[in-house]
Chains A and B, each alone.
Chain A
Amino acid sequence: MSAGGIHTSDPTTGAAPDTLPATRWIEGTPSLHRITSDISRPMEAKPGRGWWICFALASAAVLNLLGMVGYLFAKGIGIWGLNNAVGWAFDITNFVFWIGIGHAGTLISAILLLFRQKWRTSINRSAEAMTIFAVMCAGLFPLIHMGRPWDAFFIFPYFPNQRGPLWVNFRSPLVWDVFAISTYFTISLVFWYLGMIPDLATLRDRAVGGIKKFVFRILSLGWNGSQRTWSRYEIVSLVLAALATPLVLSVHSIVSTDFATSLVPGWHTTIFPPYFVAGAIYSGFGMVLTLLIITRQTMHLERYITVNHLEAMAKVTLLTGSLVGYAYATEFFNAWYSGNVHERFHFINRATGPYAWCFYLMVLCNVLTPQVLWWKRARRSVPLLFVVSILVNVGMWFERFVIIVVGLHRNFLPSAWGMFYPTVFDIGILVGVFGLFFSLFLLFIRALPMIAMWEVKGVSNG
C-alpha cells in the first residue's frame, strides 16, 4: 500500500515506517476469515473441562460471598475483626486492590492506543473486560463496609433531595471516590462496548439465526462496516482514549487521597497519588498476565496472544514494579527527613512492629520478584511469568493492607493502640470476591469475542 500522507492522518497505525512488521504480533499470516473463525471458536464450541472446573470453583466462591454478605447485613460490621483502633482493614484493602487491578485495562486500551502501540490489539478487549469486572468487585466494598448499607444512597447528591437542603460533603475524599469510580466505570464500559460493536456485527453475520442472531443484531446496532461510519468511529475511539487516559490517572490519585488527605501517620503523604497510580498499573498488569496466560492456553489463542505480548507486558511490570519500590524507599526517607515523631514511629513500627511480616512479604513480592524480568529469557518464559504475576498480586494486596492497618493500629495516642485480627468473614469475603471476578471473566470469554477481531485484522494486513 502507498505510504505518505496516509500515515500521518491515520491514527490507529500511523507508526513511523521503522515499526516492526505487524506480523510480530501474530504468529503466521492467517487469512481474515481464519482470524474471524479462530477468535469466534470459544463462543461457538462447547466449553472444555478446564473451563468447567474453573467456573465451578469460582461460582462456589460467589455463593460463599452471597452468604457472608447476607450475614453481614443481618448482624453488622461487628462480625469483622475491626475495632475502635482499626476502623478499616480488609474491606478498604480489597477496594483499593480491585480498583488498582482495573487500571491495566484502561491503560492498555487507551494509553497504548494514543501511543500507537500495535501490540495492544489482541489483548485490549480482555484487559478492558477485566477493568469492568474489577471495578464491579471494587464497588462492592464501599457499599458493604458501611455500618448502615441500607442508607448508602445518602452518599449521592440525588435529586429531588427529600432531606431538605442537606447534600453531601464535597470536601470528603469518599465523595470524590463516588464520582471518580462511577465515571471510571461508565467510561470504561462505554469504551469497551463501542470497541465491540464491529465484532458483534461480525458475530451477527456468522450466527445462523435464532436467539443468538437476535441478540447480536440488537447489540450491534445495525453496524455494517460502512467506511463513513468507520472514520467517525475511529475519531470517537481516539476521543474516548484521550479522555480515559487522564481519567485512569485521576481515579487512583483520588483513591489515594482517601489516605493522603487524612492526618494519619503513614497515610498523610504527598507522594501517594503517583505512587498509587504506579502501584495500580503494576497490579493491573500482574492480573492481565495471570488471566491471559491462563486463557491463551485453555482457549488455544497462542497465535494471537503471543510470547511477544507477554514480554511487552513483562517490561511494563518491571518498570512499574521498580517505581513502586522507589516509592517505598521514598516513604521511609521522608519519614526520617520530616523529623516528625509520629511519622518516624509509624515507619519503624511498619518494619519492626507486629505487622512487620506483611511489610517484608510486600517488599519481597513487589520489589524483589519483578527484578528477574531484567533477563529476556525470564520475560519470555511463560511459567515464570505466571508465578511472577501471582506474586505481584499477592504483594500489591499486602501493600494496601500494610498502609491501611499499620497506619491505624498504632498512631497518635498510645492509649488507643490496638490490633486487627481477621475473622473468618474477613477472609471469606476476600475469597468470595475473587470468585466473583473470575466467574465474570469466565462467562465473558464464552459469550463475547475476547480479542478484537477487527483490530487484529487491521494489524495482520499492516
Chain B
Amino acid sequence: MAERFLVGSFSEPGPMLAAVATLRSAGVAIHDVFAPYPVHGLDQAMGIRRSRLPFVTLLAGLGGLCFALVFQYYTAVFDWPLDVGGKPENSTLAFVPVCFELTVLIGGLGTVGAFLLRARLFPGKPEQLPVLGVTNNVFAVVTHAPAGGNEGPLARRIMLENGADEVDEREGES
C-alpha cells in the first residue's frame, strides 16, 4: 500500500545531523537518510547498529582455507602421489601460500556478495532518489508521516527549525 513520507532536504550535513538527533528524541520514526557521502555520527543519530558482515568474511575465509587444504592434500597425496624432488607427498609447508590466497579470495568475494545481497544492490536496479542531488550535494532526511498522525507536522517543524531548505510530502512504497 502506498505510504506517506516527509522528505526534508538539507544542503549542510551539520543541521541535518542535529535534525535527525532531535527527530529521534522526539520519537519520530526515521525511514532513512540519504547523503552524497557517509556523514560521521549519523549511524548513532539514527540508531543503526553495526553490520554483522565481518562474520560472513570469517566464515567464507575459513571455507576457503579448508577447501585449499583439502584440495591440495587430496591431489598430492591421494589422487596421484608422485616423487617430486624426493619431497614428501604431503609437503604441508609448500601448501601454505595457496591456502592463504584462497582464504583471502573467497573471504573477500563472500563479503562483497553478502553486502550486495543485503543492501539489495544489483545491476539495473532502478534508483529511488527522495530528491535529486542526494548523490551530489543534498542531504535528505525521510520520516514516516502516516496520514492524520501527528508525526508529520512534528517532523516538519523539527526539520525546518534545524534549517532544512525545504520539506515536502511524498507517497511511495516503503
Contacts and interface: CB of A to CB of B under 8 A. Distances in A.
Instruction: State if A and B touch, Cβ cutoff 8 Å.
Output: yes
Interface of A: 1-2, 5-7, 9-10, 12-13, 31-33, 36, 157, 164-171, 175-176, 179-180, 182-183, 186-187, 190, 194, 197-198, 201-202, 204-206, 217-236, 239-240, 243-244, 246-247, 250, 254, 257, 453-455, 457-458, 461
Contact of B80 (A32, A165, A170, A461): A165
In the A-B complex, the 10 residue pairs with the closest CB atoms: A222-B125, A32-B137, A6-B41, A167-B75, A221-B121, A165-B80, A165-B79, A176-B97, A179-B101, A171-B94
B66 interface: no
A205 B137 CA distance: 12
Interface in B32-50: 32-44, 46, 48, 50
8 contacts: A164-B80, A170-B91, A170-B94, A179-B101, A186-B108, A202-B135, A202-B136, A455-B37
Interface in B11-40: 13-14, 17, 32-40
Nearest to A253: B97
A contact patch SS: helix
Given A202-B36, A227-B39, A231-B38, A222 B104 contact: no
Given A170-B75, A205-B133, A236-B115, 12 more contacts: A10-B40, A13-B40, A157-B71, A166-B80, A179-B98, A179-B105, A190-B109, A190-B112, A222-B121, A227-B35, A231-B38, A247-B101
A236 B53 CA distance: 7
Taking residues whose C-beta sits less than 8 angstroms from the other chain, chain B's interface range is 35 or more
Given A170-B75, A204-B127, A227-B46, A239 B101 contact: no
B9 interface: no
A124 to B, nearest CB: 14
B13 A1 contact: yes
Contacts of A227: 32-35, 38-39, 42-43, 46, 48
B121 A223 contact: yes
Contact of B108 (A190, A224, A228, A250): A190
Nearest to A7: B40
A180 B120 CA distance: 31
Given A229-B121, A235-B50, A9 B105 contact: no
A318 to B, nearest CB: 30
A30 B128 CA distance: 28
Contacts of A257: 97
A323 to B, nearest CB: 23
Contacts of B32: 226-228
B149 interface: no
Q: Considering residues B43, B97, B133, B134, which has the most beta carbons from chain A within 10 angstroms of its beta carbon?
A: B97
Nearest to B68: A179
Contacts of B116: 221
Interface string B59-91: 000000000000110011001100011010001
A420 B17 CA distance: 67
Contact of B51 (A232, A454, A461): A232
B34 to A, nearest CB: 5
A225 B136 CA distance: 10
Contacts of B48: 227-228, 231
B28 to A, nearest CB: 16
Contacts of B143: none
A285 B167 CA distance: 48
Given A224-B34, A232-B119, A6 B112 contact: no
Contacts of B57: 239, 243
A224 B80 CA distance: 53
B54 interface: yes
A235 B111 CA distance: 10
Contact of A171 (B44, B87, B136): B87
A179 B102 contact: yes
A227 B17 CA distance: 12
Nearest to A1: B14
Contacts of B105: 179, 182-183, 186-187
Contacts of B2: none
B126 interface: yes
A201 B127 contact: yes
Interface string B110-151: 011001101111111111110011111100000000000000
